[in-house]
A and B are shown apart, each in its own frame.
Chain A
């Protein structure tokens, strides 16, 4: 990397620092006042801010998501002493360093746009948050310095200094997460304001009270997981493009492996995403029933059909990539027979997920189906059916991953050979499951119906999910016991079967009963389903780790032996998650409708209406293309200074030296 490039990159954090520190000074003194607007050279101001904010958000997601798994990969490299991990972490970080300055520039542009086009609104927001601006700017400075220190000290901090380097990586994540939390507080404040007088909008004086608004943490959790999945899939697509253009088998093997790691990271983050999404949705509803209803039953309900299509593409694509990948693993053909069933489950589940509850029908169409609703499809459009299939999708994807993982594994070792540690760890997992399943079952058995505005006799509807949670505790311990007596695979199967029967089928159907008889209790059904599935994922993951620890290998993984369609699948996943992020950004922001700060400061500009989905899709589609084109350009720029040395194979000997030579 040449010096000019370094100076160029370092200039951005400095500029952004000045921007974030000087601008608030101009606005901090202003009291909250009525909104006022400016135009943007004849263009729609809302559209300008929409585009810039979305681009900044996408770059931000990449810049915050990648360091999380880069440092984990580096740590694995340190522990395993395998240079392939270290080189992969370095390559991820190279992309990060390249994208960082663009993120900062877009952040500056966003700040300029907001202060320029929405001066009164930003005056109000600054009046509330100006103290957090300074902290943000300082953290941004720390993030920039740490990132460049982390990247440029890679060669220097090797050997006994490696821990210091990993610490820098952790520090980078700490700054990044804090930055995200601060920026999230501004966005979530706009949705669920706190720390102000609700009647007048007057700031009460505590910045912390405004930061810690009801949607702050739910949004942060959702965004954190989204950023990791986003970063993983962008890196995966980068690897796919490199793979497709690779000239040698060594290069192909390296980028195949990089693509696999990117996809693995994304799946790991995607699996808990529906739960985080449900939590966020629930808190949106709790913060404002009007906003919540508008989200799930009002103007935005149809955007969730589009969301279901995109998430469907993500899960099916990620599974498909794993199945193709099994082709390069000797021994994985043993599990090929299960794939068609998993595929069928995924397709049926997604068909149910994207079934709308009702459609605007003409009189003739209503007559044809006998009413406003289709006699069968109307059930599939309800929340209970959707919760059931989401849990089934998660279980199926997890099952798919376990099949992939054991593709080339031979017979497991007897459990006693893993020593006491294995028993202690598995029992600890069992106790954790017992803790959260038992606690929630206890909560359900003692729940006061009056707290849900239900009559006392409705308490009988709380028992069944409580009972299923207790049965799950039994299933977890049965699976652990089977593992101890070398029947771990049967234990896993038992746990999968019990979880699917409880969380998907029993509670899926029971949800309809609850909707009819004790509707306010429905959210507890969803939480029960979530806990049942989490217990299954947790216990089965640890059982799997010990089950195949030290097991013989039937054959190696032939890295690089992947068909072209697998790489296009990675590209599809990348484009899909970028579109999904664009869509979710629109939904989150659009839920405020004609309010800058929900219920406090009204948006009285000409564009204070909710656009149609068609318009939204055109705007988001354009943003996605601009983002992908720009990040491809940034990655190309990042590679300009490098030589043409071949990339490393995942397990190439002496590879570290080659890689060092490339980046010096």
Chain B
């Protein structure tokens, strides 16, 4: 190779390597490395934790709203104390509801929050534009339970979490009805291979002798574990195909707030689980058996988000076709 061309080649490779290096550095600096893939995330558990995960990821709420000092968006009102009226949104909602009532649309604080997500154009905070998208429509396409989770998260910002109140909100009822209609249309077009027996399915779900033992991690109507999402109303919002896929390929879509992490301690131990509690000093994770482990942060060497679910991936091998259909039949009764 001629000398000038060789020099140019080396120079070019060095510039490209520098570009790659900057990409690596920005990934670390921006915190992008710990976010992981975020599209396949949905929520079943309507808790403030799940709502927080949706707010800062799938729902993309953070691209317009900050919450106090968290986030940097200014396009829409800050939902923390530094927002309008100098109140966090949980507390602010009560005053807004009074304002809405005076405007001729009587509502409680919870209704105001649900309305903000279901019909964002109905009330626009002064100084801001009417530009919030309908989050229950594509491209964000939140499910009613996910909206419920976000509302509980907003309530937790200086207000009282009132999950029952959210369920009663006419705005959510309307959304649920629309979602159920859409799900029914899809379900109608899909038929299982064979009919299932819900009673046998319930046994498979809860029995300690069952090879799968879903109840160890999932609860239905206050019975069962809390490692995985609660499934009390799963059939109301999910199609049979989705539920079947969640059983056979649990990592394909992981519910918000139920992503697992791998923790390596300084003494070399590896712990995989779902974060149940975290404060400045420690982190508590639930493992696949539902056991809680509290790990002091000072002992953690590395913490890596996992793309796989904590739920075992081998149910397709353990369950017979008949068991699978019985289990599905039971889950479809949970509305």
Q: Which of A289, A515, A610, A628 has a CB less than 8 Å from the CB of B131?
A: A289
Assess whether B33 is interfacial by the CB under 8 Å rule: yes
Assess whether A613 is interfacial by the CB under 8 Å rule: yes
Instruction: Name the residue on B nearest A603 (C-beta).
Output: B39
Q: Which of B31, B127, B128 has a CB less than 8 Å from the CB of A360?
A: B31
Interfacial chain B residues near A576, Cβ < 8 Å: 15
Q: Size band of the B side of the interface?
A: 35 or more
Assess whether A421 is interfacial by the CB under 8 Å rule: no
Chain A nearest CB from B84 CB (Å) reads: 13
Assess whether A371 is interfacial by the CB under 8 Å rule: yes
Instruction: Please measure, in the bound complex, the distance between the C-alpha atom of A373 and the C-alpha atom of B16, giving whole angstroms.
Output: 32
Chain B nearest CB from A657 CB (Å) reads: 28
Q: Size band of the A side of the interface?
A: 35 or more
Assess whether B32 is interfacial by the CB under 8 Å rule: yes
Whether B133 pairs with A612 at a CB distance below 8 angstroms is no
Whether B23 pairs with A298 at a CB distance below 8 angstroms is no
Assess whether A357 is interfacial by the CB under 8 Å rule: yes
Binds A, one of B61-69, B209-217, B231-239, B316-324: B61-69
Whether B39 pairs with A608 at a CB distance below 8 angstroms is yes
Assess whether A609 is interfacial by the CB under 8 Å rule: yes
Instruction: Please measure, in the bound complex, the distance between the C-alpha atom of A602 and the C-alpha atom of B4, giving whole angstroms.
Output: 49
Binds B, one of A51-59, A123-131, A302-310, A486-494: A302-310
Instruction: Please measure, in the bound complex, the distance between the C-alpha atom of A245 and the C-alpha atom of B16, giving whole angstroms.
Output: 23
* Given A290-B140, A598-B139, A309:B129 Cβ within 8 A: no
Binds A, one of B5-13, B44-52, B221-229: B5-13
Assess whether B312 is interfacial by the CB under 8 Å rule: no
Interfacial chain A residues near B37, Cβ < 8 Å: 609-610
Whether A571 pairs with B11 at a CB distance below 8 angstroms is yes
B181-239 contacts to A, CB under 8 A, are none
Interfacial chain A residues near B11, Cβ < 8 Å: 568, 571-572
Instruction: Please measure, in the bound complex, the distance between the C-alpha atom of A515 and the C-alpha atom of B280, giving whole angstroms.
Output: 34
Could you give, for residues 109-145 of chain B, a 1 whenever the CB lies within 8 Å of some chain A CB and a 0 otherwise? 0000000000000001011111111000111100000
Instruction: Name the residue on A nearest B253 (C-beta).
Output: A604
Whether A297 pairs with B13 at a CB distance below 8 angstroms is no
Assess whether A358 is interfacial by the CB under 8 Å rule: yes
* Given A245-B2, A302-B26, A293:B12 Cβ within 8 A: no
Instruction: Please measure, in the bound complex, the distance between the C-alpha atom of A309 and the C-alpha atom of B128, giving whole angstroms.
Output: 32
Whether A614 pairs with B15 at a CB distance below 8 angstroms is no
Assess whether B75 is interfacial by the CB under 8 Å rule: yes
Could you give, for residues 358-396 of chain A, a 1 whenever the CB lies within 8 Å of some chain B CB and a 0 otherwise? 111001001000011100000001100000000000000
Assess whether A452 is interfacial by the CB under 8 Å rule: yes
Binds B, one of A13-21, A40-48, A616-624: A616-624
Instruction: Please measure, in the bound complex, the distance between the C-alpha atom of A624 and the C-alpha atom of B20, giving whole angstroms.
Output: 11
Instruction: Please measure, in the bound complex, the distance between the C-alpha atom of A610 and the C-alpha atom of B280, giving whole angstroms.
Output: 30
* Given A294-B63, A297-B73, A613-B32, A305:B26 Cβ within 8 A: yes
* Given A372-B69, A600-B138, A614-B24, A621:B16 Cβ within 8 A: yes
Could you give, for residues 244-270 of chain A, a 1 whenever the CB lies within 8 Å of some chain B CB and a 0 otherwise? 110000000000000000000000000
Instruction: Please measure, in the bound complex, the distance between the C-alpha atom of A599 and the C-alpha atom of B137, giving whole angstroms.
Output: 8
Whether A289 pairs with B133 at a CB distance below 8 angstroms is yes
Assess whether B72 is interfacial by the CB under 8 Å rule: yes
B130-183 contacts to A, CB under 8 A, are 130-133, 137-140
Whether A614 pairs with B60 at a CB distance below 8 angstroms is no
Q: Which of A294, A356, A454 has a CB less than 8 Å from the CB of B60?
A: A294
Instruction: Please measure, in the bound complex, the distance between the C-alpha atom of A83 and the C-alpha atom of B4, giving whole angstroms.
Output: 29
Assess whether A593 is interfacial by the CB under 8 Å rule: yes
Assess whether A330 is interfacial by the CB under 8 Å rule: no
Q: Which of A244, A289, A593 has a CB less than 8 Å from the CB of B4?
A: A244
Instruction: Please measure, in the bound complex, the distance between the C-alpha atom of A425 and the C-alpha atom of B155, giving whole angstroms.
Output: 65
Interfacial chain A residues near B22, Cβ < 8 Å: 306, 309, 617
Assess whether B85 is interfacial by the CB under 8 Å rule: no
* Given A293-B63, A518-B127, A519-B75, A288:B33 Cβ within 8 A: no
Q: Which of A298, A518, A599, A614 has a CB less than 8 Å from the CB of B63?
A: A298
Chain A nearest CB from B82 CB (Å) reads: 10
Greatest chain B CB density within 10 A among A302, A518, A602 is at: A302
Instruction: Please measure, in the bound complex, the distance between the C-alpha atom of A453 and the C-alpha atom of B128, giving whole angstroms.
Output: 7
Assess whether A579 is interfacial by the CB under 8 Å rule: yes
Whether A613 pairs with B62 at a CB distance below 8 angstroms is no
Interfacial chain B residues near A310, Cβ < 8 Å: 19
Whether A288 pairs with B27 at a CB distance below 8 angstroms is no
* Given A293-B63, A302-B26, A617-B20, A371:B69 Cβ within 8 A: yes
Q: Which of B16, B26, B127 has a CB less than 8 Å from the CB of A519?
A: B127
Interfacial chain B residues near A452, Cβ < 8 Å: 129
Instruction: Please measure, in the bound complex, the distance between the C-alpha atom of A121 and the C-alpha atom of B137, giving whole angstroms.
Output: 21
Q: Which of B27, B130, B132 has a CB less than 8 Å from the CB of A613?
A: B27
Instruction: Please measure, in the bound complex, the distance between the C-alpha atom of A517 and the C-alpha atom of B74, giving whole angstroms.
Output: 12
A547-599 contacts to B, CB under 8 A, are 568, 571-572, 575-576, 579, 593-595, 598-599
Whether B4 pairs with A241 at a CB distance below 8 angstroms is yes
Assess whether A520 is interfacial by the CB under 8 Å rule: yes
Q: Which of A244, A289, A382, A621 has a CB less than 8 Å from the CB of B19?
A: A621
Whether A372 pairs with B139 at a CB distance below 8 angstroms is no
Whether B128 pairs with A288 at a CB distance below 8 angstroms is no
* Given A372-B69, A453-B129, A612-B27, A575:B16 Cβ within 8 A: yes
Instruction: Name the residue on B nearest A453 (C-beta).
Output: B129
Instruction: Please measure, in the bound complex, the distance between the C-alpha atom of A60 and the C-alpha atom of B127, giving whole angstroms.
Output: 45
Greatest chain A CB density within 10 A among B13, B19, B24, B129 is at: B19
Interfacial chain B residues near A517, Cβ < 8 Å: 127
Q: Which of B19, B131, B137 has a CB less than 8 Å from the CB of A579?
A: B19
Whether B72 pairs with A358 at a CB distance below 8 angstroms is yes
Q: Which of A520, A593, A609, A628 has a CB less than 8 Å from the CB of B128?
A: A520
Chain B nearest CB from A273 CB (Å) reads: 19
Whether B19 pairs with A614 at a CB distance below 8 angstroms is no
Instruction: Please measure, in the bound complex, the distance between the C-alpha atom of A620 and the C-alpha atom of B18, giving whole angstroms.
Output: 12
Q: Which of B4, B75, B133 has a CB less than 8 Å from the CB of A245?
A: B4
Instruction: Name the residue on B nearest A305 (C-beta).
Output: B26
Could you give, for residues 71-95 of chain B, a 1 whenever the CB lies within 8 Å of some chain A CB and a 0 otherwise? 1111100000000000000000000
Instruction: Please measure, in the bound complex, the distance between the C-alpha atom of A74 and the C-alpha atom of B152, giving whole angstroms.
Output: 68
Assess whether B103 is interfacial by the CB under 8 Å rule: no
Assess whether A346 is interfacial by the CB under 8 Å rule: no
* Given A371-B69, A613-B27, A614-B33, A571:B19 Cβ within 8 A: no
Instruction: Name the residue on A nearest B37 (C-beta).
Output: A609
Interfacial chain B residues near A572, Cβ < 8 Å: 11, 15
Q: Which of A241, A455, A575, A602 has a CB less than 8 Å from the CB of B126?
A: A455
Interfacial chain B residues near A658, Cβ < 8 Å: none
Whether B4 pairs with A617 at a CB distance below 8 angstroms is no
Chain B nearest CB from A527 CB (Å) reads: 16
The 3 A-B residue pairs with the shortest CB-CB distance in the complex, in nearest-first order: A617-B23, A609-B37, A244-B4
What are 7 pairs between A and B in contact, CB < 8 Å? Answer: A297-B63, A358-B71, A358-B72, A572-B11, A576-B15, A610-B37, A614-B23
Known: A359-B31, A621-B19. 15 other contacts (CB 8 A): A244-B8, A290-B139, A290-B140, A298-B60, A302-B30, A309-B22, A458-B127, A519-B127, A571-B11, A608-B40, A609-B40, A613-B26, A614-B27, A618-B23, A625-B12
